[in-house]
């Protein structure tokens, strides 16, 4: 264990992935798997700030459901989960590059090039997973691409499950109709293990859909369900001729070969999702910011988190002072935009329209999944950008990082980002999307790509 | 909107429900368990809105709301939806309140406030109550024990035209809620905001917030009407505003010229829940149409000749009303034994009077109901004297193992109609009270009552007063 502890310290000193470490029993010498947790997910007695100053000193009284499930999962196994700490992310998940760090921490660096971004918002999860030499599972979270983007930039696997599969109880909400807890790992096996360990129906989260746990690990290699059917794959977002897309195409060739070897028929064709691509990003931002602006209103320096008492200010001035001093610029921008979209005179033009378009996008996907089993394309349009470049781009351009992955996120569809190769020595990612609650199928196919 | 009346009143009533637990967590509901809990000890991460906590709706609260919506004739939506109403206030833990905006649990409906008088409703919806604030010495203390407890907000149309009508509305509303067993006037609270506008101000709407109880609503509205009329006479303009009520006068709180924008947003932590026929049936499991106050009154009026006002008062308490109804059916119907109006008089003038003195609700009593039946019969049969009845009634209602029959026997409390016994007493009374006898003989017929009183006193209440009167008349008119 001393080696694990030493490694955590070394990685963190150079890459800034952890905002909080959890004490580890250094005398333990059995089998173990290390687990890191996105800061927005509560673990009892460990400060949970969602990477924001405003939550300084918020020590949750309970474990989140995914932590409880994880502890239960390993109870009767001769392998011990070692929770190592809370990983950094963009404040409340607001960002695609993990440069919007709210607390007094340094910006995390890409494991392949420390001048580049590790992606966001779950950047700490991806970076640590890539860097550690030990077997590791990271419990991450995605609202609009916060798993796929960093997984792709850091060259690891990142699974975003169906909305409603994994309990959100104990997750500090960004946008509660979009937030999904997921898994990052170095290989598909540990993605399956991670999904099994956090899964479990939860009455305390009303959006959690009643379901039986599946044995995702066993189902990884089980071809029987797929032998007699033709697997239909739709290719998306591969028009441009560039290295990222070429890497995806190479992987698809590999996949085809492997399916042939397993005697599974496959049909591949290009699918036009221009409608989805055109509207997902604006709809995603209108809805996620509307929700975020109400979710964050509870943070006001009373009851928990940062405080400034005694004060001679009245309530309103006190709330304003606390929120002005402790939210980052990006957070304030998102609160203002989200509040605007909900206001009585604008809600029809923005919020209500966005909700209707979201429904259309989901319908469009479901129509596609009537004919296809999977959609495959690049996870991100670019490789990890240089941190210095990000500082110069506009907030709007920063939002474009989510162009590809906000689409399945908006529709609550399960998707996985798989390392697809390199471009300029930086990792690239390929994204596979499948229909709601077909994680077993998604992981099975991912396992055919090696 | 075109108004035809000089005064227009609409009410928004907040009703706390007597569910066992809070609306979105399993903390105790003080409206059920009582308020005897230390400040901020009846809280959890959900009702304190801690980051990461998620609400899950209380089925009992939803069933209560459905029951009310169904009974008062609301249109019930196909789905149960919650919304966030956003505003910053220290007693509101999340700085948004989970309530219902676009699809309330009941649209329309009406509350019956008299035999043929109804008040139409706009809607009813479910919402959570904030905590409570105590402000003193420039400090604000907040107690979140109440935070997250279930409320029903009931909004009437602007259809009331008199302050007394608003009072009657609240009074009848409480009775209806108690009949449905979703509210209890001792532990639950009912607060009203009243909107009032009068012709003289061109119907400028003024809101009076947080009025507790039906006496206050009438007083507050009367005060406000007079205030507005005075203002108009003095050429002052009435503006859209919110006022408070301190028990004697309304006072300015804030202007409403700029409408608040609550930025309502669907509460996505609670997805829409289908309201099925089964769940509506389940909500009505302990309740049917006969359980409505005025339906009960109508049923009794069909069978018995009783003053309506007496019935309204007796049936205010559902349990007392049930006992009354049963007594009538058993003792006034077929044998035609007792006059139902006399029974009603006994309930209103004896039982309710004593309950009011004891400051207790009939249903909260711990007593043997057979005793009460026996006592009423003996009283109506004139076997028990008025004064003795009062003494016995108090014992019957307050002592759970009181043996009425034994007590009457042991203390020899039954009245006598025995002629010779009373004749002796009458003769003595006549001898001892020559002045009254003379007065009677000179035409002052009322003075015979004095002699009856003497007989009652000397018999220690045992003599039947009407027999005594008759015997006295026989002797004196000879």
Question: Any idea what the CATH number is for the domain that residue B459 is in?
Answer: 1.10.10.410
Specify whether B90 is located in the same domain as B235. Answer: yes
* Whether the Cβ atoms of residue B447 and residue B453 lie closer than 8 Å to each other: no
| B240 within 8 A of B201, measured Cβ to Cβ | no
In a domain, B319, yes or no: yes
Same domain, residue pair B108 and B207: yes
* pLDDT higher than 90, residue B55: yes
pLDDT at B123 over 80: yes
- Residue A388 is assigned to a structural domain of this protein: no
Provide the pLDDT confidence category of residue B417 given band limits of 50, 70 and 90. Answer: low
End-to-end Cα spacing for chain B: 77
Question: Quick check: A426 pLDDT over 80?
Answer: yes
| Neighbouring residues of B290: CB distance < 8 A, sequence distance ≥ 6 | B296, B299
* Residue A38 appears among annotated catalytic residues: yes
Q: Report the DSSP beta bridge partners of residue A378.
A: A430
Assess whether A379 carries a catalytic annotation. Answer: no
B50–chain A Cβ distance below 8 A for any pair: yes
- The contacts of residue B392 (CB under 8 Å, 6+ apart) are B375, B384, B404, B407, B408, B413
Do the Cβ atoms of B176 and B111 come closer than 8 Å?
yes
Residue A379 has pLDDT above 90, yes or no: yes
Distance in angstroms (rounded) separating the CA atoms of residues A322 and A331: 13
Strands (E), A92-148: 136-142
Claim to verify: residue B144 and residue B273 sit in the same structural domain? yes
Mean pLDDT of B290-317: 90
For the question of residue A36 being annotated catalytic, the response is no
Residue A246 domain-assigned? no
Same-domain check for residues B237 and B249? yes
Residue A421 tokens, joined: 């190769």
B96 touches A at CB < 8 Å: yes
Minimum distance, in Å, between the CA of residue B160 and any CA atom of chain A: 29
Residue B2, domain member (yes or no)? no
Q: What is the mean pLDDT of residues A140-156?
A: 97
The number of folded domains in chain B is: 3
Grade residue B360 by pLDDT with cuts at 50, 70 and 90: confident
Q: Identify whether B23 is preceded by a cis peptide bond (ω within 30 of 0).
A: no
Tell me the CB-side half-sphere exposure of residue B174, using CA atoms within 13 A: 19
pLDDT digit string (tens) for A246-263?
A: 999 999 999 999 999 999
Q: In terms of CA atoms, which chain A residue is nearest residue B84?
A: A294
- Residue closest to A290 by CA, chosen among A332, A342, A347, A354: A342
Instruction: Say if residue B337 is in the same domain as residue B247.
Output: no
Judge whether B402 lies within some domain. yes
pLDDT band, very low/low/confident/very high, at B173 (cuts 50, 70, 90): very high
Burial of A19 (0-12, 13-18, 19+ CB in 10 A): buried
End-to-end CA distance of chain A: 31
Average the pLDDT over A14-42 and give the result. Answer: 96
Q: What is the mean pLDDT of residues B252-275?
A: 90
Is the residue at A91 inside a domain?
yes
Residue B364, pLDDT score: 82
Distances (CA, A) of A276 to A95, A381, A403, B465: 21, 16, 10, 94
A419 touches A360 (CB < 8 A): no
Look over chain A and give the mean of its residue pLDDT values, rounded to a whole number. 95
pLDDT at position B430: 87
Domain boundary among B231, B261, B282: B282
Is A109 part of a structural domain of the chain?
A: yes
> Is B299 among the domain residues?
yes
Residues 241-270 of B with CB under 8 A from A: 259, 261, 263-266, 268-270
Q: pLDDT grade, residue B336 (50/70/90)?
A: low
pLDDT of residue B12: 97
**φ, ψ of residue A189 in degrees (nearest 5):** -60, -45
Q: Is the peptide bond before B263 cis (omega within 30 degrees of 0)?
A: no
Q: Is residue A129 part of a domain?
A: yes
Residue B2 pLDDT > 70: no
**CATH assignment at residue A8:** 3.90.1300.10
Our measurement of the distance from residue B351's CA atom to the centroid of its chain's CA atoms, rounded to an integer in Å, reads: 16
| Residue of chain B minimizing CA distance to A338 | B263
Which are the contacts of A218, defined by CB distance < 8 A and separation ≥ 6? none
Chain centroid to CA A197: how far?
17
Residue A314 backbone dihedrals phi, psi, to 5 degrees: -80, 170
In a domain, A145, yes or no: yes
Cα dist from A15 to A9, A132, A255, A358, A382, whole Å: 10, 12, 34, 37, 21
For residue B70, count other CB atoms closer than 10 A to its CB: 19
- Assess whether B254 and B109 both reside in one domain: yes
What is the count of structural domains for chain A?
A: 1
- Do B226 and B184 lie in one domain? The reply is yes
DSSP string, A164-187: TTS--TTBPPSSTTT-EEEEEESS
Q: Which residues 6+ apart lie within 8 Å of A290 measured at CB? A: A175, A338, A339, A341, A342, A350, A351, A354, B265
Beta carbons of B54 and A342 less than 8 Å apart: no
Cα separation, A248 vs A234, in Å, equals: 13
Percentage of residues in chain A having pLDDT higher than 90: 91
Q: Which of B81, B84, B170, B56 is nearest to B119 (CA)?
A: B170
Q: Of B330, B410, B319, B311, which is closest to residue B367 (Cα–Cα)?
A: B319
Give A434's strand partners.
A374
In angstroms, the CA B40 to CA B43 distance is 6
What is the band of B1 on the pLDDT scale with cuts at 50, 70, 90? Answer: low
Name the pLDDT band for B421 (thresholds 50, 70, 90). confident
**pTM metric for this prediction:** 0.90
Q: Domain of A59?
A: 2-219
The range of the structural domain enclosing residue B297 comes to: 286-411
Least confident of A221-230, A303-312, A411-420, B311-320: A303-312
- For residue B381, give Cα distances in angstroms to B50, B342, B384: 66, 11, 8
Q: Does B39 touch chain A (CB under 8 A)?
A: no
Chain A touched by B48 (CB under 8 Å): yes
% of chain B exceeding 90 in pLDDT: 59
């Amino acid at each position: 264990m001393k080696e694990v502890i030493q490694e955590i310290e070394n990685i963190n000193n150079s890459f800034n992935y952890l905002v909080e470490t959890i004490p580890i029993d250094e005398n333990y010498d059995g089998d173990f798997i290390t687990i890191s947790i996105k800061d927005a997910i509560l673990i009892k007695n460990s400060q949970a700030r969602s990477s924001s100053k405003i939550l300084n000193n918020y020590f949750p009284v309970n474990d989140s459901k995914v932590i409880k499930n994880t502890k239960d999962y390993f109870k009767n196994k001769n392998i011990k989960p070692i929770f190592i700490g809370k990983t950094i992310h963009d404040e409340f998940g607001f960002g695609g590059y993990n440069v919007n760090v709210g607390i007094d921490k340094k910006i995390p660096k890409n494991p392949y090039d420390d001048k580049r971004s590790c992606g966001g918002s779950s950047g700490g999860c991806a970076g640590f997973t890539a860097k550690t030499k030990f077997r590791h599972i990271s419990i991450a979270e995605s609202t609009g691409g916060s798993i796929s983007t960093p997984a792709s930039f850091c060259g690891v696997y990142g699974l975003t499950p169906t909305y409603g599969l994994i309990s959100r109880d104990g997750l500090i909400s960004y946008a509660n109709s979009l937030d999904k807890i997921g898994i990052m790992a170095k290989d598909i096996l540990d993605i399956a293990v991670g999904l099994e360990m956090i899964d479990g129906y939860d009455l305390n989260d009303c959006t959690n859909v009643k379901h039986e746990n599946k044995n995702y690990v066993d189902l990884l290699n089980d071809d029987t369900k797929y032998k007699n059917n033709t697997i239909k794959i739709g290719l998306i977002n591969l028009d441009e001729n560039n290295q990222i897309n070429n890497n995806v195409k190479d992987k698809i060739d590999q996949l085809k070969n492997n399916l042939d070897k397993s005697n599974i028929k496959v049909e591949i064709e290009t699918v036009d999702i221009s409608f989805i691509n055109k509207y997902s990003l604006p709809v995603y931002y209108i809805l996620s910011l509307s929700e975020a602006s109400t979710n964050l209103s509870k943070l006001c320096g009373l009851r928990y988190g940062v405080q400034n008492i005694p004060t001679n200010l009245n309530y309103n001035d006190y709330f304003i002072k606390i929120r002005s001093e402790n939210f980052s610029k990006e957070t304030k921008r998102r609160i203002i935009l989200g509040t605007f979209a909900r206001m009585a005179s604008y809600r029809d033009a923005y919020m209500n329209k966005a909700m209707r378009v979201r429904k259309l996008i989901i319908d469009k996907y479901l129509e596609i999944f009537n004919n296809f089993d999977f959609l495959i394309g690049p996870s991100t349009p670019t490789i990890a950008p240089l941190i210095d470049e990000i500082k110069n781009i506009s907030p709007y351009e920063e939002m474009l990082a989510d162009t590809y992955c906000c689409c399945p996120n908006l529709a609550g569809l399960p998707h996985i980002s798989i390392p697809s190769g390199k471009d300029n020595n930086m990792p690239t990612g390929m994204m596979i999307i499948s229909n709601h609650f077909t994680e077993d199928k998604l992981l099975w196919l991912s396992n055919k790509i090696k | 909107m075109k108004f035809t009346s000089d005064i227009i009143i609409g009410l928004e009533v907040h009703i706390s429900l007597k569910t066992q637990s809070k609306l979105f967590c399993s903390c105790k509901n003080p409206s059920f368990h009582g308020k005897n809990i230390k400040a901020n000890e009846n809280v959890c991460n959900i009702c304190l809105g801690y980051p990461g906590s998620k609400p899950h709706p209380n089925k009992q609260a939803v069933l209560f709301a459905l029951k009310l919506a169904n009974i008062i004739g609301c249109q019930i939506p196909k789905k149960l939806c919650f919304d966030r109403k956003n505003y910053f206030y220290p007693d509101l833990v999340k700085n948004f309140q989970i309530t219902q905006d676009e699809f309330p649990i009941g649209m329309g409906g009406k509350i019956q406030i008299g035999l043929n008088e109804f008040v139409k409703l706009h809607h009813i919806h479910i919402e959570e109550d904030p905590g409570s604030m105590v402000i003193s010495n420039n400090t604000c203390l907040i107690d979140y024990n109440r935070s997250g407890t279930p409320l029903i907000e009931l909004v009437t149309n602007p259809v009331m035209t008199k302050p007394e009508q608003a009072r009657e509305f609240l009074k009848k509303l409480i009775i209806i809620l108690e009949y449905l067993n979703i509210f209890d006037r001792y532990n639950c609270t009912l607060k009203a905001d009243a909107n009032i506008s009068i012709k003289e101000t061109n119907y400028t709407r003024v809101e009076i917030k947080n009025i507790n109880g039906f006496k206050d609503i009438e007083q507050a509205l009367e005060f406000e009407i007079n205030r507005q009329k005075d203002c108009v006479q003095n050429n002052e303009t009435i503006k859209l505003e919110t006022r408070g009520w301190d028990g004697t006068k309304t006072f300015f709180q804030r202007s409403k010229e700029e409408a608040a924008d609550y930025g309502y947003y669907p509460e996505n932590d609670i997805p829409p829940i289908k309201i099925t026929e089964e769940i509506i049936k389940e909500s009505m499991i302990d309740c049917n149409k006969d359980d409505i106050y005025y339906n009960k009154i109508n049923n009794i009026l069909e069978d018995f000749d009783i003053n309506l006002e007496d019935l309204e008062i007796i049936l205010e308490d559902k349990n007392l009303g049930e006992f009354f109804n049963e007594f009538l059916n058993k003792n006034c119907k077929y044998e035609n034994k007792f006059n139902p109006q006399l029974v009603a008089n006994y309930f209103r003038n004896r039982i309710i009077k004593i309950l009011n003195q004891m400051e207790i609700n009939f249903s909260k009593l711990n007593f043997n109901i057979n005793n009460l039946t026996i006592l009423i019969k003996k009283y109506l049969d004139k076997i028990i004297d008025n004064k003795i009845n009062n003494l016995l009634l108090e014992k019957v209602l307050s002592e759970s193992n009181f043996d009425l029959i034994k007590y009457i026997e042991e203390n020899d409390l039954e009245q006598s109609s025995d002629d010779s016994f009373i004749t002796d007493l009458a003769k003595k009374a006549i001898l001892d009270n020559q002045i009254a006898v003379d007065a009677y003989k000179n035409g002052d017929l009322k003075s015979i009552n004095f002699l009856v009183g003497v007989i009652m006193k000397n018999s220690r209440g045992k003599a039947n007063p009407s027999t005594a009167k008759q015997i006295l008349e026989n002797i004196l008119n000879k």
